Amino acid sequence: MRLTTTIIALLLSLATMAAGDKEFGQIYVADHLTRDSVELWTVGKSRGEADAGVFKVPNGDTLRLAGMDGKHPIVEWRGQRYTTYASRLRHVGGGENVIQDDNEARYHSDMGHLFYTYVPLVVILVLLLAAGVMMLVVRRAATMRAAVPPLAVLMGLLLAASIIEVMLLVYTDDITWWCDKGSFWQSLLALLPAMLGLGVQLYVGFGIKGKLEELTGARLSLKAAFVSVPLALVLTVVVAVMHFGGFVQGLVFLGTLAVCAVYSWLRNRRGLGGGGGLAYTLFNFVYVVGALVAFAMLVVLVWSMFLIVLPYLIMGAAAVLAVALMSSSDGRSSGGSSGRAPGGDQWTNIDGHWGTKHSDGSFTTGGETFKRDGVTGEWRKK
């Protein structure tokens, strides 16, 4: 009986060990999305600690998951174990991806890699510039019949740009990865086309509304679309704070958008008809989401530039303050009663005149000597 128990315990132990082995052992490759290598450092130490054992492995090198060091994975590389960031690895096999959530895994997909290149950004800018040119054509149309073809092209260009902007938000964890936040001039060069693109995007979106109102004589709705997204986010946060689950939060978010969309469609159909009003309303909501993403990108860029310039502004303000204090100090010392003259004589300033002060309190300037009257306090010649 004792032997049987021992065998069962041994089998259970082996099964537990096997299960533990299966928990790790997954295969990953180094995959830094904005650099060409991934850092590895000594197990048990934080990355911020001074540690000589920091290595950089090139993207594409194979790493085997060997455990966890807190929230960081422990990986085997060339027979040694190191710690790295989970977000800089791409799961390629050997079991379930246990160190990344769905978002992090999506960033390392083929689409994620595409959106970490400049291709989508260039495409967005080209689409917006083409939309700006097409808007000039639309503005010259005198009738609805003449305006419909260029309007369709224009709305298609804006729709495509907005969809790519939304996809940029989905497939990247940093919508301004392409801007080097450590360099003011690179941030400025990135900011200028971003401002141009956003300006064209807003101008064309409101321009379409204005032209349609001009041709139909009706008041159309666009502001409801701009209000709907922030309102939906705020209400969703309120519901989340009240500890409702994800289903309720999603319901509140989508329900808010739906209510705003129905209100907008009811207004738009008066001038564009049922089908035309619905198409314009749906276009507005997709367009607005893209415009808000572009606006958020611009805000992040401006804030990044401010943080870069802030130390220089502080140093400049400190320099100005120091000069002001030194000037004030010099002004006070110049009105004093003693010091050293350039010629080495003891000097003082009396009513704006410089001269030699004597031990008896008299004062000589311009070849004449004066002494202060003890009663009146006036200077009189000796």
Q: Which amino acid is at 344?
A: G
The span from the CA of 337 to the CA of 358, in Å, is 12
pLDDT at 246: 82
> Coil, helix or strand for 42?
strand
CB count within 10 Å of CB 298 equals: 17
How confident is residue 115, by pLDDT bands cut at 50, 70 and 90? very high
Phi, psi of 80 (to 5 degrees): -115, 160
User: Is the pLDDT score of 337 beyond 80?
Assistant: no
Q: 207-246 burial by CB neighbour count: b if 16+ within 10 A, else e?
A: bbbebbeebbeeebbbebbbebbebbeeebeebeeeeeee
How confident is residue 19, by pLDDT bands cut at 50, 70 and 90? very low
Q: How much is the mean pLDDT over the chain?
A: 80
The more confident residue out of 328 and 13 is 328
The pLDDT tens digits of the residues spanning 187-243 come to 777 788 888 888 898 888 888 888 888 888 888 888 888 888 889 889 999 988 888
Average pLDDT over residues 71-86: 89
The more confident residue out of 233 and 326 is 233
Mean pLDDT lowest among 30-34, 179-183, 200-204, 334-338: 334-338
The span from the CA of 317 to the CA of 320, in Å, is 5
Phi, psi of 134 (to 5 degrees): -65, -30
Domains and CATH numbers, the chain: 19-102 (2.30.30), 111-317 (no CATH)
